[in-house]
Amino acid sequence: MVFLKSPDGGWGWVIVLVSFFTQFFCYGSPLAVGVLYLEWLDTFGEGKGKTAWIGSLANGVGLLASPVCSACVSSFGARPVTIFSGFMVAGGLMMSSFAPNIYFLFFSYGIIVGLGCGLLYTATVTITCQYFDKRRGLALGLISTGSSVGLFIYAALQRELIELYGLDGCLLIVGALSLNILACGSLMRPLELSDSPLPEKSCLEKVPDQYLIYHEKENVEENTSILEKDHNEEKCVNLSSRECKQDSILNQNGLISIHAKETDTYKQKVVEQTYFCKQLAKKKWQLYLNYWEETLFLFKNKVFLSLFIAILLFDIGGFPPSLLMEDVARSSNISEEEYVMPLISIIGIMTAVGKLVLGVLADFKWINTLYLYVITLIMTGVALVAIPFAKSYIILAILSGILGFLTGNWSIFPYVTTKTVGIEKLAHAYGVLMFFAGLGNSLGPPIVGWFYDWTQTYDIAFCFSGLCVLLGGLLLLVAALPCWDNCNNKSAKPPPNTYSYTVASSV
């Protein structure tokens, strides 16, 4: 399947627009789930750790299932997957309004909505990359802000809907809004194939050969027997019974030879199909082994191993504020009258700003992208440790803005991965890292909630989160020190087709 060249414009800007709104509608509620988290705590009366699983699953399942999502988009295309996933997200949100207990929400909101968001993210990124080549970075940056803008708006929207219509009415309305994803998906026109399309096969030609073997065999037998029967009856009228018997014996021998030839042909085709299946299975198994060998080789890279630990610890410690910050304010006895805007909204809008600013800084040649990423990790850890000391809305709002801005380091994470493992291994390495990022997203909020259930305060919980992020940042910094390059130069040369990360600045 050969597509036309990426137009880098034209209908591509429509793709950017609908992809932006797709991420806006699908990620708005899951990222602003902190508002719903407070209502679920009051409604079901469960512990904070158990209740936090709802939001963590909604944001982590999509990353954990990223290989499945990629396979679906590759097999069916971006438009069908977007429309189907729009039904998943809308249905999961509406089902959640009828949840009788928290375990139902694990499935309806956590798994169904989370998996739908993962499919939609993969579909929007894939079709945007197909339409853009030279301006791909700009296009991807624009659509990625859709989730951040959704977080900013949905935090205030869900709070208002809960006050007007209650929790159930809020989920129904938000689910209905998600149906707009279907309209966005219908506009995701795939790139047309090349000018010489293959001719359509007839219905008979589309039938696999192995089925035709059986039908041809049965038809030949049936037609041959009918013709021979008519011929025998006609000859038996004019010939004697002895001649008829001799003729019948000859015809029977002819039929046996025909059947023998057909049987030999059929057996030969079966042997060929069996051999083909064996070779295919052997090839797939070899690809599977090669995949794991390449994965193990990636972890021999000190910087990649440190990056893997850092992203896991960052998601365990850095994701909980977007889910729990509203409950932190309530636990600090901050009245709602002091609220200028929800803290989650501040996180959302500053995340969008952070993605754009950090993405622009990463394009400067005199800025080392890895060190820039390490700085964001260390500053995130410091801000998390400072949360227990914030006892007013203004301080919490400032910390929320800082954390939101630093969370925008997701925009430079592909840069760091590319320079760590090389462009040839980017897809493989990025998939591995995203899987463990999803694992961190799923585990982080429940761990912080369990700390609160154990100590009845968020102080130790956010100190733990901050230390996790600090540990990951410092470990990555140590692994990226230039002294390791000197040690590597004295050791054996790396295998071909691999890239070592040059930590020193280009200046």
What pLDDT score does 401 carry?
Answer: 92
Residue 125: pLDDT band with limits 50, 70, 90: confident
Residue 122 neighbours by CB distance under 10 Å:
25
Can you give the length of the chain in residues?
Answer: 507
- Per-residue exposure over 361-377, b if at least 16 CB sit within 10 Å of its own CB, e if not: ebeeeebbbbebbbebb
Helix, strand, coil in percent for the chain, rounding step 5: 80, 0, 20
User: Which amino acid is it at 440?
Assistant: G
Mean pLDDT, range 468-495, rounded to an integer = 71
C-alpha count within 13 angstroms, C-beta hemisphere, residue 188: 28
Output the pLDDT for position 63: 83
Q: Per-residue confidence at 226, pLDDT binned at 50, 70, 90?
A: very low
d(CA 90, CA 116): 9
Least confidently predicted of 109-123, 130-144, 169-183, 188-202: 188-202
Q: At what angle do helices 302-318 and 393-407 cross, to 10 degrees?
A: 150
Which of residues 495 and 436 earns the better pLDDT score? 436
- CA nearest 58: which of 100, 92, 22? 92
Least confident of 61-75, 134-148, 420-434, 438-452: 420-434
Which is more confidently placed, 426 or 296?
A: 296
pLDDT at 489 over 60: no
Q: What pLDDT shows up at residue 144?
A: 82
Asked whether the CA dihedral 345, 346, 348, 349 is positive or negative, the reply is positive
Q: Which of 79, 179, 56, 178 is nearest to 127 (CA)?
A: 79
Please tell me the least confidently modeled range out of 44-48, 289-293, 382-386. Answer: 289-293
How far, in Å, CA of 254 to CA of 260, rounded? Answer: 10
**Residue appearing with tokens 């993969």:** 122
Residue 106: pLDDT over 70: yes
Residues 300, 294: Cα–Cα separation, whole Å: 10
Q: What separation in angstroms does the CA of 116 have from each of 178, 213, 260?
A: 11, 42, 56
Q: What's the sign of the alpha-carbon dihedral 434, 435, 438, 440?
A: negative
* Whole-structure pTM value: 0.69
